[in-house]
């Protein structure tokens, strides 16, 4: 009876307000939050620090805020910070120049070695090789960028293993993963963090695609919450595009999985 009453009156002011409140509450519960200090990203870095990581890759480093956060919590790690947009890269270099452990690289990560055009926006954080649908604002410019496969990057740098790989490349996360597939398949990368959200509607890469990719290569996948990572099997209800961050960990890294799962 309550269901019928709701459906008959679903477009009156009261029920519209309740529906809006429910959506907001769901976004809050599901951690739709891009502030690294409160969305769990810093918590992940703190827990990874206990594993004494030697090599970290920051794919999509932007102006260097995240790389500096990595350095703060993992001062003994070598951090490769990749940023393909030249103007943004120059800011990255300036912001990280006092830290020898941070190595800025003017390239982006992709499934092949190539040059592509990237859309620029007024905010540095939104540059994307995809023409994003549904935005209320338009790109301000386009520039060419150099992209490379992660496997080739690791070979070029002489990296046998990577302790933590973070990928934040505005919709090209799955493409970047494909570029690391040889090393992921070989288990040479212990943990991989990536973004998933509304942009995946444009890219047509669903959360199930990431689940299937990682499960096929011996990783477990979890969603990052403010205090814990919730490792879970895929369900339709998780395909909500709310994001913001997920992490895949090699099944053999049991200590790291336990640490991430606990408050």
Answer yes or no: is pLDDT of 55 > 90: yes
Reported as a single tens digit per residue, the pLDDT across 94-116 is: 999 999 999 999 999 999 999 99
Q: Where are the beta strands (DSSP E) in the chain?
A: 55-59, 78-82, 102-105, 108-110, 114-120, 141-149, 162-167, 189-195, 219-224, 229-231, 245-250
Q: What is the pLDDT of residue 125?
A: 67
Residues shown for the chain: 263
Answer yes or no: is pLDDT of 66 > 80: yes
Structural domains of the chain, with CATH: 1-30 (no CATH), 35-261 (3.40.50.150)
Answer yes or no: is pLDDT of 155 > 80: yes
- Does the model's pTM come out above 0.85? yes
- What does each C-alpha distance from 88 to 25, 56, 104, 233 come to in angstroms? 35, 20, 11, 37
> Cα separation of 136 and 154, whole Å?
38
Answer yes or no: is pLDDT of 16 > 80: no
What 3-state class would DSSP assign to 38? coil
What is the residue-wise DSSP string for 189-245?
Answer: EEEEEEE-STHHHHHT--HHHHHHHHHHTTEEEEEE-SS-EEE----GGG--S---E
For the chain, give the mean pLDDT.
92
**Which strand (E) or helix (H) includes residue 15?**
helix 13-29
Phi first, then psi: give them for residue 168, nearest 5 degrees.
Answer: -135, 85
Answer yes or no: is pLDDT of 1 > 90: no
Q: What is the pLDDT of residue 124?
A: 66
Reported as a single tens digit per residue, the pLDDT across 198-253 is: 899 999 999 999 999 999 999 999 999 999 999 999 999 999 998 899 999 999 99
Q: Are 58 and 82 in contact (CB under 8 A)?
A: yes
């Amino acid at each position: 009876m309550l269901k019928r009453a709701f459906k008959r009156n679903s477009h009156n002011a009261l029920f519209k307000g309740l529906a809006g409140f429910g959506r907001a509450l769901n976004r809050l519960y599901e951690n739709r939050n891009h502030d690294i200090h409160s969305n769990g990203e810093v918590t992940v870095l703190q827990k990874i620090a206990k594993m004494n990581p030697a090599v970290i890759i920051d794919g999509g480093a932007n102006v260097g805020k995240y790389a500096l956060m990595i350095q703060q919590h993992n001062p003994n790690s070598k951090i490769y910070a990749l940023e393909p947009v030249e103007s943004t890269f120059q800011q990255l270099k300036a912001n990280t120049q006092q830290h020898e452990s941070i190595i800025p690289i003017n390239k982006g990560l992709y499934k092949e070695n190539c040059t592509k055009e990237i859309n620029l926006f007024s905010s540095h954080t939104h540059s994307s090789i995809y023409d994003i649908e549904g935005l209320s604002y338009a790109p301000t410019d386009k520039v060419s960028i150099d992209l490379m496969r992660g496997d080739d990057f690791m070979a070029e740098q002489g990296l046998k293993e990577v302790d933590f790989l973070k990928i934040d490349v505005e919709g090209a996360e799955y493409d970047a993963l494909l570029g690391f597939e040889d090393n992921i398949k070989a288990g040479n990368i212990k943990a991989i963090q990536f973004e998933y959200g509304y942009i995946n509607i444009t890219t047509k890469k669903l959360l199930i695609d990431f689940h299937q990719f990682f499960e096929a290569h011996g990783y477990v996948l979890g969603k990052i919450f403010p205090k814990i990572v919730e490792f879970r099997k895929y369900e339709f209800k998780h395909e909500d595009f709310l994001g913001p961050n997920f992490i895949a960990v090699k099944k053999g890294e049991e200590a790291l999985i336990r640490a991430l799962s606990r408050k």
